[in-house]
Structure 1
Amino acid sequence: MIIVYLICTTGKAIYDMIQKESRHPNWTMMSIYHVISIVVVLFVGTLAVLLRSLFASWIPGQQDLLIAIWAGIFATLLGAAAHHILKPTRVESHGVVDVLRKDVGETAWDYLTKSTPNQPYLQDLARAILLAECQQRPKWFRRLERLGGKIWGKGTYGVAQAAADSPITDEQSIDILISHLRALPVYSATFNGPYSDEFSKLCRSWNDDPAHARRIGEFYETLQSRREASES
């Protein structure tokens, strides 16, 4: 069961990571995570086999097991019903932006604003990229990347997840992002809309994941609507 489980889960994840044409920007950390997962699963599974005699008295008989299964089915149905009734209201796009902005941090957010004066289209695009990157890499994960980067060096760092040979600050990652965007036709891409092929191509020049490009487009659209509402 352990071997089948590892093949279907961690094994598949490793295979998919190796088969991709473009290597994951944080493949080193992902590899370490997969190795640790395999070690933990094997250790726990082996421990369970070796100590099975100690837990034999805990295993219910057939009749008790059948009763437990039926009780579990009813409990699941009741739990699903309670979850449906009590589930929280879905956070809309503006709420997601507010939550992610806190993760970015006011210092980094203000630094980006000051770095793109009188360029609203460039500023909103850069902000959208920050929000999308921080949604994928929250603050605690970015801190781990910086710590790990002191060992393996090259990777993507900061709120903008900018590629660098060693860990960099959030402000440095924003500088790299803005410099990258200024060398591209940002105005025409944003003029055509966040769901145009040109906009998607622009986003994928920073992160080649199509799904990530769509997230950037959604955040850009939300930021644009906020700007228009504040200006009207």
Structure 2
Amino acid sequence: MTWRDSPYAEHYFEQESPYLSAGLKQAVGPKALQVGTQVEQSLIDDLDLPFLLRTSQQMSNPSEVRADPAFLPFSPDSFAMVIMPHVLERHSLPHQVLREAHRVLMPEGHIVLTGFNPASCVGIQRLVRPKAVLSGRYYTVSRVVDWLQLLGFEIVASSMYQYAPLLQSPKLRRGCRFVESIGDRWLPMFGGAYMITAKKREPASTLVGRIRFNTRKRQMHGATAPARASMTGSEKVLLTQQEDK
């Protein structure tokens, strides 16, 4: 049995559901791409998207496209939304994965991604009870945000959740509910998981090259010379002598 089908995953998806649902509704677009399957699929299906394409590296479903998240077989600006549930921690090239998401997104398109936080109870649980969590390399929210901003994304929203460790027993889960409320208020950066929504921004056009200004003074002809008609006879003689010189 994989982690996706385990009681631990059931506990996690129960906590993730309201946050991911809000992020998806905020970023919904006409053409969506889902990369990876580590998600409660009913949340995405409930959006009733007009066009949704799913990719997976395992090809577990005939309707999915088999593709490496770091080398997507799609043209640039193909999708209005890219959904990446727990893809970064499962891939050896997380930077390239984000670059590919940026490439296939339309301008002003959104990326919605989820991940696990190493500085949390879930991060510690990965070391003491590996089968309870999804295997992979975990990254902090601040690190992922830095990667997104370097690519030109604008962070629209981010949320953290799952402050308690992942548990199998429903009774223990109910007993740990108070941890969620305490953690959300007092330890906001130590949630076990995060959801980030970001928008692809196109750089504004700028002028390139040197701008030259004409600084030569214009010569004013006849503006300062007195009109001959208004001169006296002696003034005309004097002006004639100055011109002859």
Larger helix proportion of the pair? 1
Rg (Cα) greater in structure: 2
Give the TM-score normalised by structure 1. Answer: 0.22
Q: TM-score scaled by structure 2? A: 0.21
Larger relative contact order (Cα-Cα within 8 Å, sequence gap ≥ 6): 2
Structure with greater proportional strand content: 2
